[in-house]
Amino acid sequence: MKRYEDGECERKGLNPARHLLALLILLVLIFPARSVAGDGVHPVWMEGDAWSVRVVYPVQGGGWSGPVLWGYRVAGVPGPDSSGYVLEVKALSRAPKVKARLTYRNDFSLAGVEIIRTLREREVITVLEYEAGAPVLTRRSPVPFDTPLFPLLAPSSGEYHVKRKMGDGLSFALSVTQSVVPDPEDEDVVEVTCTLSNGEQFLQRWRENRPWPIYGKNRNMRYWLVEK
pLDDT in tens, 116-143: 998 887 889 999 999 999 999 999 999 9
> How confident is residue 25, by pLDDT bands cut at 50, 70 and 90?
very low
Give the total number of structural domains in the chain.
1
Residue 56 CA to residue 18 CA, distance in Å, equals 58
Is residue 140 included in any domain, yes or no? yes
Q: Is residue 10 part of a domain?
A: no
High-pLDDT (> 90) share of the chain, %: 65
Write the pLDDT tens digit of every residue in 132-173: 999 999 999 999 999 999 999 999 999 999 877 666 667 778
DSSP, res 118? E
CA distances from 47 to 44, 52, 77, 78, 103 (A): 10, 16, 6, 10, 13
Rounded to 5 degrees, φ, ψ at 40 are: 95, 160
Measure the CA angle with vertex 18, ends 1 and 7; round to 5°.
50
Contact indicator for 219, 203 with CB cutoff of 8 Å: no
Other C-beta atoms closer than 10 Å to the C-beta of 178 total 19
**CB-CB contact of 55 with 212 (8 Å):** no
How far apart are the C-alpha atoms of 95 and 30, rounded to whole Å? 53
**pLDDT tier, 179 (very low <50, low <70, confident <90, very high otherwise):** very high
Tell me, rounded to whole angstroms, the distance of Cα 80 from its chain centroid.
Answer: 27
Distances (CA, A) of 198 to 54, 191, 194, 201: 27, 21, 12, 9
In a domain, 91, yes or no: yes
What CA dihedral angle connects 104, 132, 81 and 208, to 10 degrees?
A: -40
Q: Which residue has the higher pLDDT, 127 or 12?
A: 127
Domain that holds residue 95: 50-225
In which order are the strands placed within the sheet that holds 122-129?
A: 122-129, 110-119, 98-105, 84-93, 68-76, 50-56, 221-225, 215-218, 201-207, 186-196, 170-183, 156-167
For the chain, give the percent of residues with pLDDT over 70.
Answer: 80
Residue 227's pLDDT band, with cuts at 50, 70 and 90, is confident
218 belongs to a structural domain? yes
Longest dimension (CA), the chain: 98
d(CA 160, CA 175): 5
* Residue 216 in this model has a pLDDT that exceeds 60: yes
79 within some domain: yes
